[in-house]
Structure formats: C-alpha cells, structure tokens
Structure 1
C-alpha cells in the first residue's frame, strides 16, 4: 500500500469544527430542470447520516447529484466568508447547497481520498469537487457566477459516507488518514497535471482503493488512462 500521513501529524493544529448541518428547506422552482433542492438551511439537533446522505435531505437532479460518491457536500466557512465580503451579502450555511458548513478543515484543498471523523461515530471520505452549474447561477442571481466560481476554485468537496451515525453542529472534525498522492479536490477541478494523474493512478494500483468514477472519466478524457 502507499504511505498514509500519520493521523497525529494531521491533527497537530487541532480538530476542525462542524459549524452547521443543513438539509433541504423546500424544493425551489428552476426553469432549467423544473425544481432544485439547492435551498438548504441549518437545522438544530442531531441529524442521521446514511450511506446516501443526510436524513431528510434530497437531490432533485439525481443525474448530476447524489449517489455514494456525492452523498454529502461540505463547504468551508472561510471560503464562504470571502465570497460574502466580495459580494457584499450574507452567505449563510446551506446557501451554496452544502450539507456541512465547516471550519478549521480544508474542503477545496482537501486531498482526494482523505478521511474525516465527525463527532464520535461518522467517518466520511473526500471524493470530488463541486462543479458549478446554471441552476447554481440562477439561485445566486449573480452575473457570470459560473465563471467567477470556477476561476476562484473554492468549490468545496463531496464526501462518501464510510461509517454511518449522527452529526450535529459543534462536532469536532478530525482528519484520520490522507493518501500520499497529495492531489487535492481543487487540483482535480482545475485539471490535474500528468504528474498528479500518475500519482493518483499509482496510489489506486498500490492500495486497491478505486478512485471515484468521475475522476477516472476525467483522467480518460485528458488522455491519462487507456
């Protein structure tokens, strides 16, 4: 197997924090796909985490959202605050469609395949970047939102649920393992280099842990795999 960064080293700066847990508030009309579940808002109390996401949450567009590799979407409060300052508007938890608003742990710069323990029970694995779409742009009501969001690259990360349980606001988030390939969600979103692609593929071969299918598809499109 490829090397894993020691968990004690990963957490020298202390654990992160789950600031808000968010689920769909109401399905919102969207002229592009009919309705969207992007309108998520923070809820109080513990929320059950299943293999396909948070209890009481939904995805209206199941072609592009949901499934095991996109069960949960996490976004950093620091990145949301940068957008709030730039746009001169509040970006409350869930406004970007995220399920988890987190602090003290990377989302866009999380390493693909790293695992977090949230609270005492739940373990999740970082899988994919979020790709901005026209529904997101209409929800934001901002000019050129897709291109602005893309250029910034603060896309947050999707998570696969490894161990189910319950989470609640205030839970600690601890990075418990991290693949040695070092390729981040942002790297995948922006387009991995040949060196990064090779590192991910070699890690997959060494560990037997498959990369998310969407990453493999992207690597094939870029000519990095047969």
Structure 2
C-alpha cells in the first residue's frame, strides 16, 4: 500500500520550488521515549547549535524562506512559526526538546538536526489520500482545548494538509491535529519532510534516509520506503 499525496496547483503557484520527501513505514514499534531516543534528541540539539553558529533559527536561509512563504498566504511567522523553527527555538532554550514518544522523538530529532519541517501521521488514521491545498475556510480542524474536543476552521487561503475527513495540519506545518498523530499504539507512519529553496533537494533526501535508518534501528523488520522528492 502506498498512500497518495498531492499538492494543489494553487499551492504550487504560491511556492513553485517546494519539494517534499516521504518516508512510509509499516510494522513499526512505538512506545514511551527511551534513553536512546533522548540521546538522539540531545545530539540533534548539538548539531543545530553547530549549524547556527550563534544565530537565531529564523536567520537560517531555509527558515527565512518558510517565513516568507507563511507571509505570502497571510500567516504571521513570528507568531505561528513553522514546526522546524518552533522546535529549534525549544532545542536552544533551557527547557530543551520535549520527549513525546519513540516515533515522534525520532522525527523531531531529524527536524532539528537538519532544520527541516518534519511531520508524522498514523497511516491507519488517515482517511483517503493527503492533499496540500489552500483552504476555503469551511474545512473542519478537530483539536483539543482545555481538555475538550473543539472544531476550528482555517482562514480562507491558508495552506493546510487535509484528508477526506478534514484538516490534519494547519498553516502548512504549524499545528497538527490529534486525529492522525502518532500515539504509542501506532504501528504505521507517514513521515513528511518539507523543503523550500534555497535548501538543496539533496539535503532533504539525506534527512529522509537518516530518518529511515533510525526507524529501522528502533523497529527492526519494519517495511520502510523512502519516496523520491516530489
């Protein structure tokens, strides 16, 4: 089984040099964070610090490109940061990176080490294919606030990932909904690594390969496919 992902013409017009790599995996083993995943997160934070050489994350050329793209569809990038910038900011703070669960820790580490937005979805919870579109504003985004399930709607023109049931991630890669997130019971995952120029496509390919290696290490025997950039 290969999950279908598509990018709408409207999004391509907004960001014509956008590319993405997907890692599709079945037979995964998830569970609580371990000493091993914690060490990988710590190493990712060290790699980030070396990459930035004292600069704040938003000054990295790849993060600057994401900020420009967020502004282009009406988001305020200083208030709603892309997922890589938000994680990088946490990695460099006194609090450090959160420990969520084994699979989330692995893809968060790749995101921080390479400064690439990376998302992870439970394939079993996705309804139909995944589409990156500009929202009409009527779509449902089911999230949780104060412990209660609430339904939000994206802004008209906002870039969102969605499936047949509704929005799975708002503002491109800002906030994932709980419906498709990877939990400790998840056994399949779609990992999406997103890239904008000027970052070379080869960099995101290398990040995808590194993530696949980590998934194989922590889930020996899993069926893992790295799909070429699209």
User: Relative contact order (C-alpha < 8 Å, sep 6+): which is higher?
Assistant: 2
TM-score tier after normalising by the smaller chain length: under 0.3
Of Structure 1 and Structure 2, the greater helix share is in 2
TM-score by length of 1: 0.26
TM-score by length of 2: 0.26
